[in-house]
Structure 1
Amino acid sequence: MTTFNDFGLHADINRALAAKDYTVPTPIQVQAIPPLMKGRDLCGIAQTGTGKTAGFALPSIHHLLTYPHRATPRGCRMLVLAPTRELAAQIAQSCRDYGRFTKLSVSTVFGGVPINKQIRELSQGVDILVATPGRLLDLIDQRALRLDDVEIFVLDEADQMMDMGFIHSLRRVAKLLPSRRQNLFFSATMPKEIAGLADQFLNDPVTVSVAPQATTAEKVRQQVTFVEQKEKQALLHHVLKGEEIDRALIFTRTKHGADRVVRHLAGAGIQAFAIHGNKSQAQRTTALQAFRSGQVRLLVATDIAARGIDVSGVSHVINFEIPNVPEQYVHRIGRTARAGAEGIAISFVAPDEKTYLRDIERVTRTKAEPVKLPDDFNEMVRSLPKPVQAPRNTGGKGRDPQRQREDAQRRKGENPNRGPRREAPAGDGAQPQSKRRFRPRRSGVGAHKGAVTRVG
């Protein structure tokens, strides 16, 4: 049996692994770590939850410790690109854990938070930088970051990057990287478009795969119930009352749908948080921390969370709406049955979603166990509690206090004469701030000297 001690990792890394009680590597770690320690490029096909973060972080940290030197100002030695803020924060924390007994610096940059603090952190240079593409390019455009000294480049969840429209950003990043570097490319699926993207980054790579493409997580019991769309909320209340749930992730296809589910649950006295791209970073962090700590056992999410949440003890994944991309179903249910545990995936399928279900069954080569509606379901629908009222957006009155404070802070930083501009708190795919233009407001109510109007 292979152990971490067999890899010849730096002593400080082995010490950190021992502190976390990690002794036996996962299959992808067994396949990936040896060639990466030899400096080879790598293309990894692996589902989320297989341990691939340690698979690339451990040999990379070993390299940084074996060839020690300070990062150049506004530069980084290792760059990791991730599609979502949650995944970027998760990777950065793992790097900090594995390098806890070293002096390596780790920074995370993503949108939705003020950029000035990130600029200050990068000014002296960092060893490991984990970033989302939008904020990374914004920092580059403001000359707060340079990539010409990157020794190791990691592209994680490449297929989700493509789904989120980051292809042009990735191509631009590729042009800014030095020609001599080690490249690590990870994706849960490998269609032709992803393979073409890999060819742009990799040089004679080693390919490792720990599961067939688009396979569902092992030990996940899959169930499906056919129900009308307007009756799904009543079915959700029935499932939540009938199942022994430790923690459950509830997936919707839209942001407004996630908020609507939370309001309905609140009307029934069931606490849940929502996490999606319209939430501020503080709200997303608060929701994830509450879910991780067990303060709240239900988290309603869009697919932004399908690969960015690494929480142990998720007993159930509930597809309130099934995805229209089969691979996304694999990523969703991969949030449960992690690290050898068992889990349950329950899907609510409306008549117009049956085509999506057939696509999922064809790609995954599995068929979920059908579960009938309860006998008294019509009465459940009639007695469904009303949802709580959504907060009105009336200039701040009645809005979430935390969001009001964040908005006030952003308004204070909008004057372009006060130093570097901040990135708009949009989703992870926000365009770099430099793409926006400013022009003087020449007339109209409230016009004054120096006033500006945001365009674009």
Structure 2
Amino acid sequence: MTFPNLPQPLAEALSARGYAAPTPVQAAVIEPEAHGRDLIVSAQTGSGKTVAFGLAMAGELMPEGQLPPAAAPLALIIAPTRELALQVSRELQWLYASAHARIATCVGGMDASRERRALSHGAHIVVGTPGRLRDHLERGALDLSSLRAAVLDEADEMLDMGFREDLEEILDATPAERRTLLFSATMPKPIVALAKRYQKDALRIETKGEDRGHGDISYVAVTVAPADIEHAAINLLRLHEAETAILFCATRDNVRRLHASLVERGFAAVALSGEHSQNERNAALQALRDKRARVCVATDVAARGIDLPSLSLVIHVELPRDAETLQHRSGRTGRAGRKGTAVLMVPYPRRRRVEMMLRGAKINVEWTNPPTADDIRASDRERLITTLLEPVEIDEEDRALAQRLIAEKSPEDIAAMLVQAHRARLPEPEELVAATPEAQRAAQADRHRPGFDDTQWFVMDIGRRQNADPRWLLPLLCRRGHITRNEIGAIRIGPNETWFQVPTGIAAKFNAAVQRTAREDGEDESGIRIIPGNGPAPGGNGAPRGAPRTGGARGAPMHRARPTNPRKPQGRRP
């Protein structure tokens, strides 16, 4: 038997689940030297930790090979977030199902009175978050006097989230002879202190290799223009067409914006952040599990503990704060032997810092450019051909319908309609701007087309620092100056100003229209001013030659403060 010395109900559950052999962390916790001892375990996310501590505490829960009648809990598992606690509870449910274990879950955001009733009816195992467990303990609903095993899952994260006092109060209420299992990805000083206070002669188990990245996760870094992050994320989703994907953002607001953008473009997406209630989170996760949604946009905390078997793509839309966060995020995929891909979207000004972080974390990564619209269309074609050439069983009704179609249209027409129907279901890829300063300068130089030899330069008070982008500047110029895109020549984007050419023959007409569409201060409703200039200084990064650097009677600076990350001018629809 691949899992030796286990109670029969657990061995049967593992076999039914398809476990052929234990993962390294599971094998380590059931070794004879670990039996009955306190444990400090460091293991990668997705390495089978939940099953590991479920097996490790089996000796305390089932010394005679079966569970006693449910009364005061025998085991307590504490997890940092609701999602992780619920995930742990689900894992232990199937592992201890044959043993007829009663498992109670106590997490914030759920019905506390229902949890108290469940505890009053007796439970073998209690799984919960620190705050809710402490609340039940102080109210007398949680009796820890019979506890034989306590498990702290992702202990480092719980301390980072400020749960130290909660943990200490809970552990102080447990019997001194209990067994304590501490699972932590890292071992900072607060974790060491916690272990010394609540553990005795603990065995240290380290199953993480020197390489931080999972062997089952391929790391890819794409360099993007800062203003093009959202469009690059869309193209990555379209290129991979993963069965399930998760996109990480740093804040609730960014989760909300990106989720809305994806839904608008036709992606079946859900959002997870601290602003969502527990019922909303449960509904979102269930939509991902039953394939009604394929994309999840989430913050770090909201996504901890998520285990989706079909998750094969993780996109770090906003960079993680450190290598540990990168590991936890990426560990949502590549779990239990499945392959996964983690993509870091790196704004080109931050590439060097990201390279240092990856090098320090010993994570091997492939650097590449974001997929273009042409890349995605080529991938779509190959996927469609592969799908249509796969063998499939066709019933008589479908065959009769096919014969009717062939009688009405040619096979080529029918195939073309099939391709069109397939493409209509897919969101359109996005056109991206150049991803590096060098490429941007080359692309801008190409904008000087034949017929623009006699031109007049104009300058507007917005530049790279305000995320100036030709894709929304062009419509603005056409609207303000009453001209077409074809009548705008070279565009030079500087740090705080952007220069552009208009043919001399229509420059006066353009300037007059700009003045008519401006307010008294020369700006339009978005706060952007356009005036004639003599063109950028050589190299494209200096002040415009001969252009006024100040505006207004009192010499106020031409550039005005703008939002940190404008996608388009204020007052315009995204």
- TM-score past 0.5 threshold: yes
SS of residue paired to 1:216: coil
Inter-partner Cα distance in structure 1 for 2:116 and 2:371: 56
Aligned to 2:316: 319
2:101 maps to 1:104: yes
Q: How does 1:251-270 map to 2 (within 5 A)?
A: 251-270=248-267
Aligned match for 1:196, one of 167, 181, 193: 193
Inter-partner Cα distance in structure 1 for 2:209 and 2:17: 30
Aligned to 2:471: 382
What is the CA-CA distance between 1:327 and the residue it aligns to? 0.2
Inter-partner Cα distance in structure 1 for 2:209 and 2:162: 25
How high is the sequence identity, in percent, across the aligned residues? 35
Aligned to 2:2: 3
For the structure 1 residues 378 and 354, does the alpha-carbon distance in structure 2 shift closer, same or farther, using more than 3 Å as the test? closer
What is the CA-CA distance between 1:176 and the residue it aligns to? 1.4
Inter-partner Cα distance in structure 1 for 2:34 and 2:103: 20
Inter-partner Cα distance in structure 2 for 1:342 and 1:22: 17
What is the CA-CA distance between 1:214 and the residue it aligns to? 7.4
2:130 maps to 1:133: yes
Inter-partner Cα distance in structure 2 for 1:284 and 1:9: 35
2:54 maps to 1:54: no
Inter-partner Cα distance in structure 2 for 1:56 and 1:163: 22
Tell me the alpha carbon deviations over residues 35-61 of structure 1, each in whole angstroms, 9 at most, x when there is no partner. 487311111110111112111102323
Kindly name which structure, 1 or 2, has the bigger radius of gyration based on alpha carbons.
2
Of the structure 1 ranges 298-307 and 251-260, higher mean CA displacement relative to structure 2 is found in 298-307
SS of residue paired to 2:31: helix
2:403 maps to 1:348: no
2:220 maps to 1:223: yes
Inter-partner Cα distance in structure 2 for 1:111 and 1:305: 13
Inter-partner Cα distance in structure 2 for 1:53 and 1:366: 25
Tell me the alpha carbon deviations over residues 201-232 of structure 1, each in whole angstroms, 9 at most, x when there is no partner. 22101111111377111132212223344321
SS of residue paired to 2:30: helix
Inter-partner Cα distance in structure 2 for 1:87 and 1:137: 17
Is the contact between residue 78 and residue 129 of structure 1 (CA under 8 Å) also seen in structure 2?
yes
2:364 maps to 1:364: no
Tell me the alpha carbon deviations over residues 263-313 of structure 1, each in whole angstroms, 9 at most, x when there is no partner. 011121222101122111111011111112222110111112443111112
Q: Which amino acid in the other structure matches residue 90 of structure 2?
A: Q
What is the CA-CA distance between 1:22 and the residue it aligns to? 1.8
For the structure 1 residues 127 and 346, does the alpha-carbon distance in structure 2 shift closer, same or farther, using more than 3 Å as the test? same
Inter-partner Cα distance in structure 2 for 1:82 and 1:36: 26
For the structure 1 residues 302 and 262, does the alpha-carbon distance in structure 2 shift closer, same or farther, using more than 3 Å as the test? same
What is the CA-CA distance between 1:358 and the residue it aligns to? 4.2
What is the CA-CA distance between 1:317 and the residue it aligns to? 0.6
For the structure 1 residues 127 and 234, does the alpha-carbon distance in structure 2 shift closer, same or farther, using more than 3 Å as the test? same
For the structure 1 residues 178 and 213, does the alpha-carbon distance in structure 2 shift closer, same or farther, using more than 3 Å as the test? farther
2:153 maps to 1:144: no
Inter-partner Cα distance in structure 2 for 1:91 and 1:190: 22
Tell me the alpha carbon deviations over residues 356-404 of structure 1, each in whole angstroms, 9 at most, x when there is no partner. 6245314312342222246751399838xxxxxxxxxxxxxxxxxxxxx
What is the CA-CA distance between 1:340 and the residue it aligns to? 2.2
Inter-partner Cα distance in structure 2 for 1:69 and 1:36: 26
Aligned to 1:244: 241
What is the CA-CA distance between 1:189 and the residue it aligns to? 1.7
Is the contact between residue 37 and residue 63 of structure 1 (CA under 8 Å) also seen in structure 2?
no
Inter-partner Cα distance in structure 2 for 1:342 and 1:102: 32
Inter-partner Cα distance in structure 2 for 1:76 and 1:109: 13
For the structure 1 residues 342 and 155, does the alpha-carbon distance in structure 2 shift closer, same or farther, using more than 3 Å as the test? same
- TM-score normalized with structure 2 length: 0.62
Inter-partner Cα distance in structure 2 for 1:277 and 1:329: 19
Is the contact between residue 61 and residue 99 of structure 1 (CA under 8 Å) also seen in structure 2?
no
Inter-partner Cα distance in structure 2 for 1:143 and 1:381: 64
Q: Which amino acid in the other structure matches residue 382 of structure 1?
A: R
Q: Which amino acid in the other structure matches residue 47 of structure 1?
A: Q
SS of residue paired to 2:433: helix
Inter-partner Cα distance in structure 2 for 1:374 and 1:121: 52
Is the contact between residue 213 and residue 364 of structure 2 (CA under 8 Å) also seen in structure 1?
no
Q: How does 1:52-451 map to 2 (within 5 A)?
A: 52-66=49-63, 68-72=67-71, 75-212=72-209, 215-350=212-347, 353-354=350-351, 357-358=354-355, 360-373=357-370, 376-378=431-433, 382=471
Is the contact between residue 139 and residue 145 of structure 1 (CA under 8 Å) also seen in structure 2?
yes
For the structure 1 residues 36 and 184, does the alpha-carbon distance in structure 2 shift closer, same or farther, using more than 3 Å as the test? farther
Structure 2 gaps, min length 5: 373-430, 435-468, 473-574
Is the contact between residue 231 and residue 381 of structure 1 (CA under 8 Å) also seen in structure 2?
no
What is the CA-CA distance between 1:152 and the residue it aligns to? 0.4
Tell me the alpha carbon deviations over residues 248-277 of structure 1, each in whole angstroms, 9 at most, x when there is no partner. 111011112111110011121222101122
Is the contact between residue 106 and residue 126 of structure 1 (CA under 8 Å) also seen in structure 2?
yes
Q: In angstroms, what is the RMSD of aligned CA positions?
A: 2.4
SS of residue paired to 1:366: coil
What is the CA-CA distance between 1:171 and the residue it aligns to? 1.8
